[in-house]
Amino acid sequence: MNKAALTRQAILRKSFEIIYRKGYQSTSIDEIIATMQVTKGAFFYHFKNKEEMGLSLIKEVMLPNMHAIFIEPLTATADPLSVIYEMINGLLSDIIFFDVRYGCPAMNLVEEMAPISESFCEQLNFLVKEWQIAIENCLEEGKKTGVVNLDTHVKQVALFITSGYAGIRNAGKIFGIEAYTCYLKELKRYLDQLR
């Protein structure tokens, strides 16, 4: 990768870090470039404005990362319901990419930007839908092998699970990690009941 591409990626990574903690709108370009060895000229050389940077951030940083963390675990060959539980459990246990105080970067962006930006809404819709479809496929597979009850509505369940995840990330912000462990117990009960 050449120097220009490295600079661009560095800006995106740093932006992601700060936006995760402060939100998109409250993160200023000045703050982003101040915390790294990059100037405003460089920033606007790589992105025509703040919005283009934000959208690039979703496409080039979040989508690949989320794919690895959210969808990859679902390709495991074990019992689908355990696989789904372990994916959520893994997400909530991850303290490298996530912080209980700041919730989930993707869901935070949905909350903040979906209502006020069509472009953000589209990108985030795509991101979350991809996750849901992966869960649906996982459940469908479980139906075939007889692990998942045949009258399970996979779309409904997938939405129920992803919504629950978004919600517990929200609750974690006010209740701390105890909320996570409490939630996981009930999630397990819920998933078992789909057998």
Partner DNA sequence: TTCATAAGATACCAGTTAGTATGTTTGTGC
Partner DNA sequence: GCACAAACATACTAACTGGTATCTTATGAA
Per-residue x/- mask for a second copy, residues 14 to 53, rule CB under 8 A?
Answer: -------xxx-xx---------------------------
- Please tell me the distance from the alpha carbon of residue 195 to that of residue 142, in angstroms, as a whole number: 9
What residue 118 binds from DNA, a second copy, none (CB within 5 to 8 A, per partner kind)?
none
Toward a second copy, which CB reaches closer, 62 or 168?
168
Residue with tokens 């303290």, as numbered in its chain: 95
Per-residue x/- mask for a second copy, residues 91 to 130, rule CB under 8 A?
Answer: ----------xxx---xx-xxx-xxx----x--xx--x--
Size of interface with a second copy, in residues (CB under 8 A)? 47
- Please, what is the minimum distance in Å from the beta carbon of residue 20 to DNA? 16
CA 67 to chain CA mean position, Å: 9
- Please, what is the minimum distance in Å from the beta carbon of residue 38 to DNA? 5
What residue 28 binds from DNA, a second copy, none (CB within 5 to 8 A, per partner kind)?
DNA
Question: 180 vs 80, 87, 192, CA distance in Å?
Answer: 21, 13, 18
What residue 21 binds from DNA, a second copy, none (CB within 5 to 8 A, per partner kind)?
a second copy
Toward a second copy, which CB reaches closer, 75 or 101?
101
Question: Which residues 6+ apart lie within 8 Å of 145 measured at CB?
Answer: 80
Question: 154 vs 129, 142, 143, 163, CA distance in Å?
Answer: 13, 10, 9, 14
Per-residue x/- mask for a second copy, residues 138 to 177, rule CB under 8 A?
Answer: ---------------x-xxx-xx-xxxxxxx-xx-xxx--
- Interaction site with a second copy (CB under 8 A): 21-23, 25-26, 101-103, 107-108, 110-112, 114-116, 121, 124-125, 128, 153, 155-157, 159-160, 162-168, 170-171, 173-175, 179, 182-183, 185-187, 189-190, 193
